[in-house]
Chain A
Amino acid sequence: MSITEDTIRHVATLARLEISSAELPAYTGQIARILGLMEQLRAIPTDGVEPMSHAVEMTIPERLDQVVNTDQRALLLANAPDVEAGCFRVPKIIE
């Protein structure tokens, strides 16, 4: 799996990161090197090994279906960069 500048450009688009063409070669080289480290994993036999997504075996806890929150709009809008009519304002979304 060779990493090209196109790969990095695509990944940056998916991740919503603007990467300038000046930055692209350095990121490509670094990420290619890091991914090079990963190649050693291929040789490890892992058939039948259950993937581990959690550090500790446990099951999901559940909370009771109760409303405990009240209106806190003012508090939650306080950090927003652009607010209008009680809403978060964003550039026009074209659907």
Chain B
Amino acid sequence: MDASIPTLVQAVEALQQRQISSEELTGACLQRIADLNPTVNAFITVDAEGAMQAARQADQVRAAGGGGIPPLTGVPLAIKDLFCTAGLRTTCASRMLEQFVPPYESTVTARLREAGAVILGKTNMDEFAMGSSNETSCFGPVRNPWDLARTPGGSSGGSAAAVAARMCVAAIGTDTGGSIRQPAALTGTVGLKPTYGRVSRFGMIAFASSLDQAGPMTRDIRDAAWLLQVMAGHDPKDSTAINQPVPDYVGALDRSIQGWRIGLPAEYVQSNGLHPDVRAALEAAMAVYRELGAEIVPISLPYTQHAIPTYYIIAPAEASSNLARYDGIRFGHRCAHPKDLKDLYARTRAEGFGAEVKRRIMLGTYVLSSGYYDAYYRKAQRVRRLIAEDFARAFQEERLSVILTPTAPESAFLLGAKNQDPVSMYLSDIFTINVNLAGLPALSLPCGRDAHGLPIGMQLIGRPLDESAILTAGHVYQQATDWHLAVPGCAS
């Protein structure tokens, strides 16, 4: 098998210079999907016909030449299966939506299509994005291309695995508590969660509305900058989309970080759950940054320790409401022969949702219910503000450009290791959740390997709307290191 699938920027250059056609490139991706998907299970739906047709169209656009050729013309991408794609089944990896064909297109995929991208298919994920190991998918778990016995992380595990295994040039994921960054870390890829509101949520099937954000999942930082450039921007269809101009992310990559102050939060580094191999990789990365002229500044984010309980009140509460629309009336699964309305609801939802989704719906219903709202939900919202203020204070007082942390406490764990114990699973997101609560941009990039040769990721967190800073910091690191060039065994 060859690993000749290029990165996004390489693909754009090759397509521009006619070294390859989109038809060839898309065909190569589809071939790799055909070869690897039976084992990796990264895709739920492969749209070979649609992709080839889009590729041929892209080739015609490039052949016609002239100015104004959209930036991603002919680039084959994989899309997490919670972005609604008009006419293309969108399941959220749930039995509930197994047959759902949206009559509308998400803003993210619409922008990608307008930019010329070819959509290969829809990637596997945890059901309704609820999970950290991709084991809650009704289509079965995704396997990590670095070790097929292990998880690629979740919930955007299919997108991460597809990128790592070179089944696509790049992919799109979503991140509510770490669902882009944690799988990126576990698969040796790059994943960026933008500032909340930077990318439109329209057409993205909601898990927790105040936390969900879409972002790129790529082989390197430059690719992430390219994709974000296309995805970001105001959208009148999303009332929480930020109405501010999109800066030139790609242009900002090659800045020097000489003199940048990089915050290192004590609470993350001293965390009990942090694996020594991850700590060692992070320390090595700090050394690289010092060599690049940055200063590592120890900081404290004292409310960090409360992130997990805060998140697991707010996210399930919003989810319990967001998932009320799945009632078997207008779309989705419906139980057979409902005897009355109550039976229709209760059985449809019991059959359509998996155990983790039901657990979170019940948890969310409970924390919002009469008598418990103040003790749980309102309390969590208050602590959320304290967590957000922690970051704002640190950035302000310490004049930080970015904050550096581990992405996940450990490398990819074995499938089945945690899925019997929700609490231990929830702790996988301990370093990523804060960022969603505070609405900040953050990315994960590979920074080493553990004793088993599995990738380790580190996280860079930025100020609100300063995606450029984390992209630049990530890019200069990748210019100095080669962790991002490693290819997993199954893909080489």
Residues of A within 8 A of B (CB): 1, 7-8, 11-19, 27, 30-31, 33-35, 37-42, 44, 46, 49-56, 58, 60-61, 63, 72, 75-76, 78-82, 88, 90-94
**Cβ B329 vs Cβ A17 within 8 A:** no
A31-B379 contact given A46-B386, A56-B196, CB 8 Å threshold: no
Point out the residues of chain B lying under 8 angstroms from A8, CB to CB: 362
Whether A88 pairs with B350 at a CB distance below 8 angstroms is no
Chain B's nearest CB lies how many Å from the CB of A28? 10
Pair A90/B344 contact, Cβ less than 8 Å: yes
Q: In the complex, which residue of chain A has the Cβ closest to the Cβ of B340?
A: A91
The smallest beta-carbon distance between B343 and chain A, in angstroms, is 7
Residues in B with CB closer than 8 Å to A88 are: 329-330
Known: A11-B369, A34-B312, A41-B380. A17 touches B358 (CB 8 A): yes
Whether A17 lies near B422 (C-beta < 8 A) is no
B72 within 8 A of A: no
User: In the complex, A21 Cα to B335 Cα: how many Å?
Assistant: 19
- The answer to whether B103 has its CB under 8 Å from any CB of chain A is yes
Looking at B180-188, B302-310, B454-462, the stretch in contact with chain A turns out to be B302-310
Contact between B330 and A15, CB atoms less than 8 A apart: no
- Taking CB atoms, residues of chain A closer than 8 Å to B306 are 40-41, 44
* Cα distance A14–B367 in the bound complex, in angstroms: 12
Q: Which of B23-31, B61-69, B237-245 contacts A (4 or more CB under 8 A)?
A: B237-245
Give every chain B residue within 8 A of A49 (Cβ-Cβ): 382-383, 385-386
Please state if B242 and A56 are interface contacts (CB–CB under 8 Å): yes
- Write the nearest CB–CB distance from B87 to chain A, whole angstroms: 10
Q: Are A55 and B439 in contact (CB under 8 A)?
A: yes
Cross-chain pair count, CB within 8 angstroms: 170
The B382-441 residues at the A interface (CB cut-off 8 A) are 382-386, 388, 422-423, 426, 436-439
Can you list 15 A-B pairs, Cβ within 8 angstroms, ordered by A?
Answer: A15-B365, A16-B342, A16-B345, A17-B350, A38-B367, A40-B309, A41-B310, A42-B375, A55-B388, A56-B439, A58-B240, A79-B331, A82-B334, A88-B330, A94-B340
Query: Cα distance A78–B334 when bound, in Å?
Result: 14
In angstroms, how far is the closest chain B Cβ from the Cβ of A48?
9
Q: Are A91 and B344 in contact (CB under 8 A)?
A: yes
Contacting residues, chain A, for B383 (C-beta < 8 A)? 41, 44, 46, 49
In the assembled complex, the Cα of A30 lies from the Cα of B439 at a distance in Å of: 29
A79 touching B240, Cβ below 8 Å:
no
B45 lies within 8 A of chain A by Cβ: no
Chain A residues within 8 Å of B365, by CB: 11, 14-15
Q: Among B236, B365, B386, which residue has the most Cβ atoms of chain A within 10 A? A: B365
Binding site for A on B (CB under 8 A): 99-101, 103, 195-197, 210-211, 236, 239-240, 242-243, 303, 305-306, 308-310, 312-313, 320, 324, 327-334, 338-347, 349-350, 353, 358-359, 361-363, 365-367, 369, 372, 375-376, 378-386, 388, 422-423, 426, 436-439, 464
Residue of chain B at shortest CB distance from A77: B330
Are the CB atoms of B386 and A79 closer together than 8 Å? no
Closest B residue to A46 using CB positions: B382
CB <8 Å contact, B330 and A37? no
Q: How far is the CB of B351 from chain A (nearest CB, A)?
A: 8
Q: How far is the CB of A60 from chain B (nearest CB, A)?
A: 6
When C-beta atoms are compared, the residue in chain B nearest to A33 turns out to be: B423
Query: Are A51's CB and B341's CB within 8 A?
Result: no
Indicate whether A16 sits within 8 Å of B349 (C-beta atoms), given known contacts A27-B358, A34-B363, A55-B197.
yes
Contact A52 B344 (CB under 8 A): no
With contacts A31-B362, A76-B103, A76-B330 taken as known, whether A56 is within 8 angstroms of B195 at the C-beta atoms is: yes
List 10 A-B pairs, minimum CB-CB distance, nearest first. Answer: A55-B439, A51-B381, A55-B196, A79-B331, A46-B382, A16-B345, A18-B346, A18-B350, A81-B334, A52-B385
CA distance A46 to B343 in the complex (A): 42
